[in-house]
Chain A
Amino acid sequence: MARRLAALLFAAIFLPTLAMLGFMSFASARTLAAERASLVSELRDELMSEYVGDGPRGLTAAIRDRLKFNPLGEEVMSYATPKGTIVAGNLAVWPGGSNRRARWLETSLRRTGDRDYRPVILLITPLPDGSRLLTGHVASGGAELRAANQWAFLLALGIAGPLALGLVLALLRLIERRVARIAEIAERVGEGDLARRVEVGDGDDAFARLARGFNGMLDKIEALVVELRLVTDGLAHDLRSPITRLQSVIERAAAGARDPGARAALESAQHEAAGLQAMLTTALQISRAEAGIGRDRFDKVDLSAVLADLVEIYGPAAEESGFVLTAEPADGVVVSVHRELLGQALGNLVENALRHAEGGSRIALRVAREREAVVITVADDGPGIAGDRREDALRRFGRLDPSRHSSGHGLGLSLAEAAARLHGGRIELDDAGPGLVVRVILPDTGAETRR
């Protein structure tokens, strides 16, 4: 793209230069030709006045006079009888046919006494008595002019060419640099750093306008995201008190109910309310993690110990569901993390696996250092998630199969992602072949202290 633009710009600058040179050489050639024509006409007029005054004899004398002083000048003269015999002049042979009308002729000929053929411009004037007068001029200036033109072209190639090329490259670099700055901001914002803005220069050029427009758009996006967050967070906050009261009312009713049917119904309602409460708590935790709250609570934690805890906590429940939950032992993966949040997020991932890896038989936890990062993986051997659905899976409350009435509230992955982000990391979903593997990738903060 840039190369094509450069070629185009170069052509746009360089080709007109060439065209102008061409035009100038054409124009100067024409001027020269016109000058010669007028010299030839003048010569003819002078000789004609001799002819008018003294007749053919006078004309012959005038021609001889002129050639006596300057036999090999630039002029060509010839006077021929009606029969075609050359009476006077510096031509041995009459050029062209025997046209009766006055006409111009451009040709190349050798004059009497001259060694070379020369380009000439000739005017043949028929006289009343049937004789003919030829006047002409050597077109010698053309060669020098051509040489000069060639020089001009070479200069254009040698100076204007590189100049144009340099200009084009400089312009391209300037454009590229300014566009790259905007592109970089767009990438940062895309990654979630909503506060980034493009620097706006003092100028009022298109770039400044682009930057201002771009920043305006980012302001709008940030405002919308913040508003959305406020709305969802506000909703969650407002829901807390009613849910707490709801739970307590149901609890009390269940405790007082005598009828076994009513009691069972109330207990089931209580169970649902507890689920609602858990969901709400998780949603609030996601909001808080996304707002960056909790960064001051990081502690040095051995991640393999966290995985061992998870195996202890979830192992029996996993066995009941027909899974074997394992944690691969790893040594000294100690990083600075929010232990509780990370533990809960990973616990949620294990619960998700238990719920969704139908037909699977194992859930494997692993932690390892990979280059600059610490990677925790939760892998199952269930049906997994198709590549094009993984994005959906990360959405809050996103559930892959709307018809499935599983108790999964779709917040597990969101919490894991929010927790990873709080640590400056991210999560990735991948194919475990078969099954789903969730990779929680955290920056390796332990690496610095080890060295």
Chain B
Amino acid sequence: MSRKILVIEDDATTGSFIARGLDEHGFAVDKAGNGRDGLFLATDGTYDAIVLDRMLPQMDGMAVLGALRAAGIETPVIILSALGTADDRIDGLNAGCDDYLVKPFAFAELLARLRLLMRKSGGGTRTTTELACGDLEMNLLTRQVRRAGRTIELQPREYRLLEYLMRHAGQVVTRTMLLEGVWDYHFDPGSNVIDVHISRLRKKIDETFPEPILHTVRGAGYRLGSTR
């Protein structure tokens, strides 16, 4: 059964390119061109995620979000904003959206974040002391990392990077998501800044093993997990 996503976006071109992109990646997509229609569709509550433009005619994105949450609908929402920077992001997160993306964005970024949201809402949050991905294991208490039973020495920053990747194992994680998740800054660092981190981490967890576990997803980011 394919996942259903609602795209509420007044700009027809942007709306249809998001819809087409999601469709190509195997999602079922409904579109709404304004806030009122969007809210009407969203209250069905049968969507796995909602992509919500912040600036909408008739009913602004934040109002739609507020109405949804007030109605007890907890569908994950990712807000698209043309406004700009971190401040709107914080407003949005405070208002109950699950993620926030600023235009212009790469479609891969939206896709990665949507997948993350849907997984989160499905899996729930449970406290764990062990993370595992294939033969890679991480003990969160002793901060020990082992692959195929062999202990791997990591620097603190490499450990945190790997922890984020392991918590999102199987998911595509973009460079911005990494910077946000590990260091709590929300901007696009220079082209190779994150790549260097990854290649160093890869040296330690991949180089001496037959199967690579940390993959580069072209044009999007990285994914930790066995090859599909």
Are B82 and A341 interface neighbours, CB within 8 A? no
Task: Enumerate chain B residues within 8 angstroms of A244, measured Cβ to Cβ.
Answer: 14, 17, 103-107
Partner of B104, one of A243, A271, A309: A243
Partner of A312, one of B102, B157, B219: B157
Q: Residue-by-residue, is B185-202 near A (CB-CB < 8 Å gives 1, otherwise 0)?
A: 111111111001100100
- When A251-B107, A344-B185 are in contact, do A245 and B84 touch as well, CB less than 8 Å? no
In whole angstroms, what is the CA distance A347 to B197 when docked?
16
Are A347 and B185 interface neighbours, CB within 8 A? yes
Partner of A347, one of B11, B82, B157, B189: B189
Give, as a whole number of angstroms, the nearest-CB distance from B75 to chain A: 24
Are A248 and B183 interface neighbours, CB within 8 A? no
Is A397 an interface residue, CB under 8 A from the partner?
A: no
In whole angstroms, what is the CA distance A239 to B187 when docked?
19
Interface of chain B residues 71 through 114 with chain A (CB within 8 A):
82, 84-87, 90, 102-108
Is A46 an interface residue, CB under 8 A from the partner?
A: no
Cβ-closest chain B residue relative to A256: B24
Cβ-closest chain B residue relative to A246: B104
Is A446 an interface residue, CB under 8 A from the partner?
A: no
Are A297 and B218 interface neighbours, CB within 8 A? no
Task: Enumerate chain B residues within 8 angstroms of A241, measured Cβ to Cβ.
Answer: 11, 13-14, 82, 103-104
Partner of B191, one of A271, A319, A341, A344: A271
Give, as a whole number of angstroms, the nearest-CB distance from A311 to chain B: 9
Task: Enumerate chain B residues within 8 angstroms of A347, measured Cβ to Cβ.
Answer: 185, 187, 189-190
Interface of chain B residues 160 through 207 with chain A (CB within 8 A):
179, 183, 185-193, 196-197, 200
Partner of B21, one of A240, A248, A315: A248
Partner of A317, one of B157, B185, B192: B192
Are A267 and B219 interface neighbours, CB within 8 A? yes
Task: Enumerate chain B residues within 8 angstroms of A344, measured Cβ to Cβ.
Answer: 185, 187
Q: Residue-by-residue, is A227-254 near B (CB-CB < 8 Å gives 1, otherwise 0)?
A: 0000000000101110111011101101
Are B21 and A343 interface neighbours, CB within 8 A? no
Is A87 an interface residue, CB under 8 A from the partner?
A: no
Are B185 and A343 interface neighbours, CB within 8 A? yes
Give, as a whole number of angstroms, the nearest-CB distance from B29 to chain A: 14
In whole angstroms, what is the CA distance A247 to B103 when docked?
11
Q: Residue-by-residue, is A259-277 near B (CB-CB < 8 Å gives 1, otherwise 0)?
A: 0000000010011001101
Give, as a whole number of angstroms, the nearest-CB distance from A410 to chain B: 14
In whole angstroms, what is the CA distance A294 to B186 when docked?
14
- When A244-B103, A247-B106 are in contact, do A314 and B193 touch as well, CB less than 8 Å? yes
- When A248-B17, A255-B219 are in contact, do A237 and B104 touch as well, CB less than 8 Å? no
A-B contact count (CB 8 A): 122
Give, as a whole number of angstroms, the nearest-CB distance from A272 to chain B: 11
Q: Residue-by-residue, is A413-447 near B (CB-CB < 8 Å gives 1, otherwise 0)?
A: 00000000000000000000000000000000000
Task: Enumerate chain B residues within 8 angstroms of A339, measured Cβ to Cβ.
Answer: 185
Are B106 and A251 interface neighbours, CB within 8 A? yes
Task: Enumerate chain A residues within 8 angstroms of B24, measured Cβ to Cβ.
Answer: 252
In whole angstroms, what is the CA distance A344 to B21 when docked?
30
Give, as a whole number of angstroms, the nearest-CB distance from B27 to chain A: 15
In whole angstroms, what is the CA distance A315 to B107 when docked?
29
Is A316 an interface residue, CB under 8 A from the partner?
A: yes
Give, as a whole number of angstroms, the nearest-CB distance from A281 to chain B: 7
- When A317-B190, A317-B196 are in contact, do A251 and B108 touch as well, CB less than 8 Å? yes
Interface of chain A residues 157 through 187 with chain B (CB within 8 A):
none
Cβ-closest chain A residue relative to B110: A248
Give, as a whole number of angstroms, the nearest-CB distance from A329 to chain B: 16
Give, as a whole number of angstroms, the nearest-CB distance from A325 to chain B: 11
In whole angstroms, what is the CA distance A319 to B155 when docked?
15
Task: Enumerate chain B residues within 8 angstroms of A365, measured Cβ to Cβ.
Answer: none
Interface of chain A residues 6 through 21 with chain B (CB within 8 A):
none
Give, as a whole number of angstroms, the nearest-CB distance from A123 to chain B: 107
Give, as a whole number of angstroms, the nearest-CB distance from B24 to chain A: 7
Are B86 and A297 interface neighbours, CB within 8 A? yes
In whole angstroms, what is the CA distance A367 to B7 when docked?
46
Are B196 and A320 interface neighbours, CB within 8 A? yes
In whole angstroms, what is the CA distance A340 to B188 when docked?
12
Task: Enumerate chain A residues within 8 angstroms of B186, measured Cβ to Cβ.
Answer: 340
Interface of chain A residues 263 through 310 with chain B (CB within 8 A):
267, 270-271, 274-275, 277-278, 280-281, 284-285, 288, 293-294, 296-297, 309
In whole angstroms, what is the CA distance A12 to B84 when docked?
65
Cβ-closest chain A residue relative to B158: A316
Q: Which of A249, A277, A280, A296 has the most CB of B within 10 A?
A: A277
Are A281 and B188 interface neighbours, CB within 8 A? yes
In whole angstroms, what is the CA distance A335 to B167 when docked?
33
Are B192 and A284 interface neighbours, CB within 8 A? no
In whole angstroms, what is the CA distance A47 to B13 when docked?
129
Is A313 an interface residue, CB under 8 A from the partner?
A: yes
Q: Which of B102, B103, B104 has the most CB of A within 10 A?
A: B104
Are B219 and A251 interface neighbours, CB within 8 A? yes
Task: Enumerate chain A residues within 8 angstroms of B218, measured Cβ to Cβ.
Answer: 254-255, 267
Interface of chain B residues 1 through 59 with chain A (CB within 8 A):
11, 13-14, 17, 21, 24
Are B183 and A341 interface neighbours, CB within 8 A? no
Task: Enumerate chain A residues within 8 angstroms of B196, measured Cβ to Cβ.
Answer: 316-317, 319-320
Cβ-closest chain B residue relative to A342: B185
In whole angstroms, what is the CA distance A26 to B187 when docked?
91
**CB-based closest 5 A-B pairs:** A244-B104, A248-B107, A344-B187, A316-B196, A243-B104
Given A241-B13, A248-B17, A314-B193, 8 more A-B residue pairs with CB atoms under 8 Å apart are A244-B107, A248-B106, A281-B188, A294-B86, A297-B86, A297-B90, A312-B157, A343-B187
A–B pairs, 22, beta carbons within 8 Å:
A241-B14, A241-B82, A244-B106, A247-B106, A251-B107, A254-B219, A271-B191, A277-B188, A278-B188, A284-B84, A288-B84, A288-B85, A288-B87, A293-B87, A297-B86, A309-B183, A309-B185, A317-B196, A319-B196, A338-B86, A344-B187, A347-B187
